[in-house]
Amino acid sequence: MKHMSLKLFFVIAFVLLSQNLCLVSVKAAFTGKIVFTSTRDGNREIYVMNPDGSEQINLTQHRADDLDPAWSPNGKKIVFVSDRDGVRDLYLMDEDGGNVERVFRTVAHRKQPDWSPDGKKIVYIDPEEDALIVGSIKDRFENRLGWIDRKRGYPAWSADGTEIAYDWLGLGAIRLINLKTDSITELPPEKGFVMWHPAWSPTDNRVAYAGFRLPKNHEGPIRIDDKMTLYVLNRDRVTVKEIIKEPIVSHPAWSPSGDEIVYEKQVNNHLQLFKVDLEHGRSQQLTDDGNNSLADWGNHRGLPVEPTASSLTTTWGEVKHR
């Protein structure tokens, strides 16, 4: 009887431990890592870190400017912008910084990339033509979708793959292009609202953006770049919620679970990355060294980043523990 009880104890302990490990695994799958641009090394480099700001690791360490990274949907690749071939163009690298290659065969000025939800295409901006372009990763075919304003657009692909949102700065608005009909509409929160830098929620039809509500009955010019803060628009109900009260906020990016947002904020004349819990409105500063910006939150397991044989050409920086 004593041996039976002991055996039963070990069986129960094993089951509970297995369940805990499964829960940890599921949580890790929804945690991912944040990839971002930093100037702490003297020029722009691509870094990754954990969602709490720990283990900040330099992936590129190149004399060129490397910036504006975006995770592939499976978390295995990062697309980013670099001028290592003389002009700012799009490049791919593995999640550990290895196997760097140019996305397209011809060198051209391309910037502000974002992935399609299936990971087969990348939308980006052609600043020379003021155009919104979609390119295929497999066959490298590029297709013009529409025009942008003032060489900026910051396109963002919807989670269901049907729409791309982008800045239309002439009006301080966000436009949507429907990929099935090619029709263009604008997000309609209300009149007198300036909107920049759209980011789609990975779980529903919410759109985060940097915004500013103009004063009622306002007439004439007004400076808004030092007043932008963080809003979330629910397209289904056309409701708007202000998330962060303090300026200057820009370039939001969602967590994989859709309950947090990482964003940029001016601190002592430097850009730093923060994240905010949407349920409680609590924010946390994640970076404090140099200018840190243009973050993207990966929807993958966020395995530890370590040098591999494929990344021996990359010089690795020290891990920064916060």
| C-alpha to C-alpha distance for 70 and 123, rounded to whole angstroms | 11
The whole-number pLDDT of residue 246 equals 85
pLDDT band (50, 70, 90) for residue 303: very low
CA 145 from chain centre, in angstroms, equals 21
**Whole-angstrom Cα distance, residue 270 to residue 290?**
7
Cα 171 to Cα 154, 195, 306, distances in angstroms? 15, 9, 45
Q: Averaged over 139-144, what is the pLDDT?
A: 89
Selected residue with higher pLDDT from 295 and 140: 295
Percentage of the chain surpassing pLDDT 90? 63
How far apart, in Å, do the first and last CA atoms of the chain sit? 52
With CA atoms as reference, report the closest residue to 313 among 7, 23, 96, 1.
96
Per-residue pLDDT, averaged over 185-191, amounts to 78
User: To which residue do tokens 């690791």 refer?
Assistant: 57
Question: Where exactly are the structural domains of the chain?
Answer: 1-30, 34-311
Architecture of domain 34-311: 6 Propeller (2.120)
Lowest mean pLDDT among 36-50, 65-79, 227-241, 254-268: 227-241
- Dump pLDDT digits (tens) for 3-24: 445 444 444 444 444 444 444 3
Instruction: Kindly report whether the global pTM for this prediction surpasses the value 0.85.
Output: no
